Chains A and B, each alone.
Chain A
């Protein structure tokens, strides 16, 4: 474990991952490397099935790579057992998924408080953090509502608040807008970006939705387990990638049409 403050908060070095599906083995990632910076929203964009979710689960410690190394916040994740990874995730990571995954029995406030209860915080601290997170995502007034009473966009904001209240240094979002209408989707992605900027959080979002590209600080276009292009939509010119693998050549990506 390194103690020096890293420039990159997430690093994958030559990771490979394949899945056995019956007799055939699908290689999703092959000697894949990537580095992600804190305080910005990094979007991995690419068509369905290209390996985005697999990449996200490996970088977040949900799944192990077959080979290669993963460093998160300067800590080596590769080779750690599931208990250690759980502890790491509890302390440092938030997640937002396409399907919200809220307990239908709990109110918005309780959804946000629930994981905090496992972090060893005081009751007052939990309540205060949960309220603050709900306020920050703009639904502080809906705290007593249950999922059935909330719209899709509101539900996703509760899910974001649930992740945010943990005050994670790493926030992972897998297709966070795919179940939402255009307006709610914009709200959600803007919220994710603001969290990155305001809290210095490393936000890694993966999506096949090309509408998100212009909202991200940095976009990695992925296809068939390979990053084709790495650029910053806010900049006038496309900046070269900050990692030195050989996949950063400027191949066209379907989402890059505007």
Chain B
């Protein structure tokens, strides 16, 4: 069987280039946009995703990590009593204003971590050396890309709501959404906020991470410990990201843009494909005269579209990977989860297939009776 579609593509790739490039650009737009959205809104959950806990206990109805309220210390006891729970650490979340040198205040989110605890909170960011440096009273760690905004360098002294602090390190991966994240010791954080005996979150690690949802549900069934809720870390992270995605209207904008990209992709790619098919209309018509069914010819067009989609996706995917790598190395917040990548790829293939179906109209011009005129 002569692989007509493949041979046409291989030997006449120039004819298909407009369609392939269209798919490539659509793939790039979708992927880069998705990566930016995930990168930016992913930072809304950096506290969760950079930590090692499986469960988070916080004030009931908390929409996003940075919007927490104090909960009681006895929730930690409750969590620690569960046989599955293996370690519990607090996270004290304090909101404040950094007084920038050259005027203007910068909103800062201070995360106070327990340096004597199990090291669950910001497990992925805090090396033992960094923990050591946080021991110093007033020591804070910031994201290196936030130094400009703070008008400070590593070693700078400053004040948060009047309380003196000292930037001891600048790291990557701590960017916040709409403010500046700072990590401090629990003691420094309590110095900023005097709700003694309270914390914002309790973070727990369990022995079998597969049981997270089950344990969270079990822990939520004790009403006599004051107001609190327990979420699995993945649920809490998703909740935080979705809150910002929806609250800022970015979610709708992103979907709208994706729809426009796909729609214009279909229009352009189908036109380009149709031109190719119409350019071979006489040959297709001759095949039909020789008895090759219209159905089989449609399959050839669909196969062409699938190849165009696959090649465009490969090209677009490769270019996007390069772009995202560059962005990442320049501290632009980007991230890509496998699930989102698959959704983007499927959308692009769908674009190609729909274009192929639209391009089948060009086969109408391949009526063999027309060859005889």
CB contacts under 8 Å to B, within A53-103, are 53-54, 56-57, 60, 62-63, 82-83, 86-91, 93-95, 97, 99, 101-103
Most buried by A among B290, B369, B373: B290
On whether the beta carbons of B286 and A97 are closer than 8 Å, the reply is: yes
B7 proximity list for chain A (CB < 8 A): 105-106, 110
On whether the beta carbons of B1 and A117 are closer than 8 Å, the reply is: yes
Which range holds the interface residue count of chain A?
35 or more
On whether the beta carbons of A93 and B291 are closer than 8 Å, the reply is: yes
- Contact string, B362-373, partner A, CB cutoff 8 A, digits 1/0? 000000110111
Instruction: State A163–B12 Cα separation when bound (angstroms).
Output: 25
On whether the beta carbons of B12 and A104 are closer than 8 Å, the reply is: yes
Instruction: State A113–B2 Cα separation when bound (angstroms).
Output: 7
- Please report the total number of B residues contacting A with Cβ < 8 Å: 27
- Pairs across A and B, CB under 8 Å, 5 listed: A87-B291, A89-B290, A93-B289, A106-B4, A115-B291
B57 an interface residue at 8 Å Cβ cutoff? no
Cβ 8 A contact of A123, one of B1, B283, B286, B371: B1
Cβ 8 A contact of B291, one of A86, A101, A106, A126: A86
A88 proximity list for chain B (CB < 8 A): 291
Question: Closest CB of chain B to A256's CB: distance in Å?
Answer: 24
B296 an interface residue at 8 Å Cβ cutoff? yes
A57 proximity list for chain B (CB < 8 A): 368-369, 372
A37 proximity list for chain B (CB < 8 A): none
B101 an interface residue at 8 Å Cβ cutoff? no
B234 proximity list for chain A (CB < 8 A): none
Question: Closest CB of chain A to B362's CB: distance in Å?
Answer: 15
On whether the beta carbons of A91 and B371 are closer than 8 Å, the reply is: no
On whether the beta carbons of B290 and A103 are closer than 8 Å, the reply is: no
Most buried by B among A60, A93, A117: A117
| CB within 8 Å for A86 and B282 given contacts A97-B371, A104-B12 | no
Closest residue of A by beta carbon distance from B287: A115
B11 an interface residue at 8 Å Cβ cutoff? yes
Question: Closest CB of chain A to B337's CB: distance in Å?
Answer: 40
Question: Closest CB of chain A to B24's CB: distance in Å?
Answer: 22
Instruction: State A249–B283 Cα separation when bound (angstroms).
Output: 40
On whether the beta carbons of B4 and A103 are closer than 8 Å, the reply is: yes
Closest residue of B by beta carbon distance from A159: B286
On whether the beta carbons of B371 and A118 are closer than 8 Å, the reply is: no
Instruction: State A82–B294 Cα separation when bound (angstroms).
Output: 10
| CB within 8 Å for A118 and B296 given contacts A62-B289, A93-B290 | yes
On whether the beta carbons of B291 and A90 are closer than 8 Å, the reply is: yes
On whether the beta carbons of B372 and A90 are closer than 8 Å, the reply is: no
Closest residue of B by beta carbon distance from A97: B371
On whether the beta carbons of A89 and B283 are closer than 8 Å, the reply is: no
CB contacts under 8 Å to B, within A209-251, are none
A166 an interface residue at 8 Å Cβ cutoff? yes
Instruction: State A118–B11 Cα separation when bound (angstroms).
Output: 22
With contacts A90-B292, A95-B368 known, what are 10 further pairs, Cβ within 8 A?
A: A87-B291, A88-B291, A101-B282, A103-B4, A106-B4, A113-B2, A117-B1, A118-B293, A126-B1, A174-B371
Residue pairs across A and B with CB atoms within 8 Å: the count is: 88
- Contact string, B1-28, partner A, CB cutoff 8 A, digits 1/0? 1101001101110000000000000000
A208 proximity list for chain B (CB < 8 A): none
Identify the 4 closest CB pairs spanning chains A and B, nearest first: A90-B291, A89-B291, A53-B372, A117-B1
A162 an interface residue at 8 Å Cβ cutoff? yes
B139 an interface residue at 8 Å Cβ cutoff? no
A182 an interface residue at 8 Å Cβ cutoff? no
CB contacts under 8 Å to A, within B294-310, are 294, 296
A145 proximity list for chain B (CB < 8 A): none
A90 proximity list for chain B (CB < 8 A): 290-293
A114 an interface residue at 8 Å Cβ cutoff? yes
Closest residue of A by beta carbon distance from B11: A105
On whether the beta carbons of B290 and A166 are closer than 8 Å, the reply is: yes
Closest residue of A by beta carbon distance from B282: A101
Question: Closest CB of chain A to B38's CB: distance in Å?
Answer: 41
A115 proximity list for chain B (CB < 8 A): 287, 290-292
Cβ 8 A contact of A110, one of B2, B369, B371: B2
Instruction: State A163–B289 Cα separation when bound (angstroms).
Output: 10
Instruction: State A54–B12 Cα separation when bound (angstroms).
Output: 34
Question: Closest CB of chain A to B371's CB: distance in Å?
Answer: 5
A91 proximity list for chain B (CB < 8 A): 291
- Contact string, A102-136, partner B, CB cutoff 8 A, digits 1/0? 11111000100111011000010010000000000
Most buried by A among B4, B10, B286: B286
On whether the beta carbons of A62 and B287 are closer than 8 Å, the reply is: no
On whether the beta carbons of B292 and A62 are closer than 8 Å, the reply is: no
A99 proximity list for chain B (CB < 8 A): 282, 371
